[in-house]
Chains A and B, each alone.
Chain A
Amino acid sequence: MSLRTTNKRLRSSIVFVVVVFALLIARAVEIQVVQGAEYAARADRQHIREFDTSAKRGVIYDRNGEELAVSQRMATVVADPQMIEDAAAAAAALSPILGVEQALLEEKLEAAGRFVYLARKLEPSTGEQVSALKIRGVAVQPEEKRVYPKGSLAPQVLGFVGMENKGLAGLEFQYDEHLRGETGRRSIIGDPFGRTLGVLFDRSGREGDSLVLTIDEDIQYAAEHELMNVVERYGALGASAVVLDPRSGEILAMANVPLFDTNRYGAEDESMRRNSAVTDQFEPGSTFKMVVVAAALEAGLVDPETTFALGPSITLYDRTVHEAHEDIPAVRTMSVTEILAQSSNVGAVTLGLEVGEKGLVDMIERFGFTRKTGVDFPGEAAGYMLPQEDWSGTTIANIPIGQGISVTPLQLAAAYGAIANDGVYVQPHLAKGTELRPSHQAVSPEVARQLRDMLLVTVSAGTGKAAAVKGYSVAGKTGTAQKAAEDGRGYSNDRFIASFIGMVPADDPAVVVLVVVDEPTLEYYGSIVAAPAFAQIADFALRRLEIPPTISQ
């Protein structure tokens, strides 16, 4: 073989190799440059998964650090229908584990989109079972679920969150912005088996803030327990109670019955979900007489010992107001203290006439009635009273005895809180905080003290004897109010609201307790139905708060 031939072949080989390499390079350029973006995107779709990382919702604590609402990680089963090879087989395998009908699962697995939820917020062990099946296109993702470990404690107050962990009612709604935190975002590189090979970026979300309430779990439970007893004992529709620290405006308990398990909030009837202590209004009846007495005292028209000659009824235009009891003498002399202690309707109307419309309206406003208290709870009712310019000649005969005006239980508790707090009205609230709550002087400290003394007599020698708590001086007022007739005309004769509100110890009140019982059927007087419940709740609260007895016997 000559050298020339060898060189020729060598050159041919070189040319061949160069051409082949040129072709390869051209193809590489086409792949990398021309179609590079498309291929890169396709590869990314296969390997890179980007998803939101749900922020953990903050915990709700009671005032002593007991968890009332926590978040727990659960398993959510999702699927990419486009990756499912055999929808029927997958549905058959998943159905018994998820507890979902096979047909429904099959329908979801054959859907057009690329993402479907098969089941949400399952027990972690269920998620592990699904993972063990290793069905292509089916994955298990962690998801937070709101859990209320105390079960039926304060369900109407706590509220609930929706499937997307957004607060929808109660304090969960009120403080949703703080509790929910910020959702994070994570991008990972995964292998075909779903394992994470690397994290491209991880913008971690912000965990929700925790919320500390003024509620005391034990007092809340005691109040609810007592209300349940009352409702059962007197065949009532429901009942509400508020336990308030008058100095700080902190609500120690806000109870409503019937109760239900907070974890099943969504399944309960709308009427049971309402926090009646804040959202419902009622005509307060005799418990409102305190306002007209306060107005008279504050105006200097009377003092506690001022007496009035009163008959069994009083007529104003076409409106006649009778005493609640029938065995009343034609004329009797009663002091202001006795009017309050005996809950005299005639006496209250008489005082109202003394005070006048303007003075009465002024005092009503100073006690915060007819406007929202501003409590940190959604859907608060403001109460209702006719504007003064729309008052008829007989309105002044209704308002002093707590008719023709609607208040919420919380408004009433806050007003009595002002009396307990030397006349300073403090805005009631549910979230514990360091900032000062709005407050104002509703009545002078002297009038507040006089009112406490008068209310003390109500319990010791008046209508509220059943509210006495051994070892403590109790000041309070009973209330028995007729409900409005269903036809809207006048008042019902067989539907009542029994209530009692009081403060204890009377000389330096630590708590104000209000009990409102809706439509008791076996008895209806506040002194019989509500006062004993007050005593039980107050007794427990005093021991819980370690308030030493103030009187010895």
Chain B
Amino acid sequence: MAVAARSWQHPRWEYDESGSEAARRSAARAQTRRQVDAPRALRAQSQPARAQSQSARTTVDRRRAPVAVREPVSAPGLRLVPRSRTRLGSTLLLTLTLALSLLLPVALNTLLVRTQIDIAQLQRRQDDLVAQRSALRAQQATLSATQRVKETADRLGMVTPAEVVFIDLAGAVSVAQVTSAARAAPELSVPAVLGSTEPVRQDVASAASGGDAAGR
């Protein structure tokens, strides 16, 4: 509105519009409107209450659109209409805000529920994997049971070594011991190359050099 008022006061407006076709049409419409409004004005004067009310409304209008009220005084041939775009924008903004305020919680809630479902699924998956791990551990423990290993070894014809050799690093001697298992094992299970099944005390150096250091 302020822009319109300033434009009206511009000298170029007065000059250009006084003789223009548009100005003439506008002046004619304003004249017609004044003629129509005259009887109403008279009726309004006879009804003070209404006039007062009208006055109040005018006051309100002035507040809302002060330029429009001044229009007939300074430019009887022109009419300024309020910019409808402003109201449309507000309405759209309001509608959008309302829609958002309604939809946002719904969307948020949906998102939360979806996330919770995902979490629950992940938790179930974790539980399943933990259970699977426990089952595998139990299976592993079962498979590594001494009894099972021994039975499998027996089935495969394996026996405890005929000789167990302990190396005494401090004394530099090795002591071979015939185990009782070897004693109890069938003859076939003792490799022939081992020879005697009696305990052997052997010098490490001699063992390494082919037994040439007897008497140490």
Binding site for B on A (CB under 8 A): 56, 66-68, 70-73, 124, 142, 147, 149-153, 188-189, 195-199, 217-218, 221, 225, 469-471, 535-536, 539-540, 543, 546, 548-549, 552-553
Contacts and interface: CB of A to CB of B under 8 A. Distances in A.
Interface of A is mostly: mixed
Contacts of A221: 146-147, 150
A196 B121 CA distance: 8
B135 interface: yes
Nearest to A224: B147
Nearest to B148: A151
A149 B127 CA distance: 21
A56 B131 CA distance: 10
Given A73-B134, A152-B147, A471-B177, A199 B142 contact: no
A68 B134 CA distance: 13
Contact of A188 (B120, B137, B140, B141): B120
B131 A470 contact: no
B141 A543 contact: no
B175 A151 contact: no
A535 B180 CA distance: 8
Contact of A66 (B144, B166, B180): B144
Given A150-B147, A469-B180, A471-B175, A142 B127 contact: yes
B52 interface: no
Given A124-B131, A221-B150, A72 B177 contact: no
Contacts of A142: 127, 131
Among all A-B residue pairs, the 4 with the closest Cβ atoms: A149-B141, A73-B131, A198-B116, A196-B120
A153 B166 contact: no
B141 A66 contact: yes
Interface of B is mostly: helix
A535 B139 CA distance: 33
A380 to B, nearest CB: 27
B164 interface: yes
B138 A149 contact: yes
Nearest to A152: B147
B2 to A, nearest CB: 38
B58 interface: no
Nearest to A53: B127
Interface of B: 112-113, 116-117, 119-120, 123-124, 127, 130-131, 134-135, 137-142, 144-147, 150, 164, 166, 168, 175, 177-181, 183, 198-199, 201
Given A70-B138, A147-B138, A553 B179 contact: no
B117 A196 contact: yes
Contacts of B145: 149-151, 153, 217
Contacts of B134: 56, 70-73
Given A71-B134, A73-B134, A151-B145, A197 B116 contact: yes
Contacts of A189: 116
A475 B16 CA distance: 136
Nearest to A535: B180
B138 A72 contact: yes
B64 to A, nearest CB: 25
A215 to B, nearest CB: 12
Q: Which of B120, B130, B144 has the most CB of A within 10 A?
A: B120
B131 A553 contact: no
Contact of A217 (B112, B146, B181): B146
B119 A199 contact: yes
11 contacts: A67-B137, A142-B127, A150-B141, A153-B146, A197-B117, A198-B120, A199-B120, A221-B147, A470-B179, A470-B180, A548-B166
A471 B144 CA distance: 30
Contacts of A197: 113, 116-117, 120
A181 to B, nearest CB: 14
Contacts of A549: 166, 175, 177, 199
A418 to B, nearest CB: 28
Nearest to A468: B180
Contacts of B199: 470-471, 549, 552-553
Nearest to A532: B180
Given A149-B142, A552-B201, A539 B113 contact: no
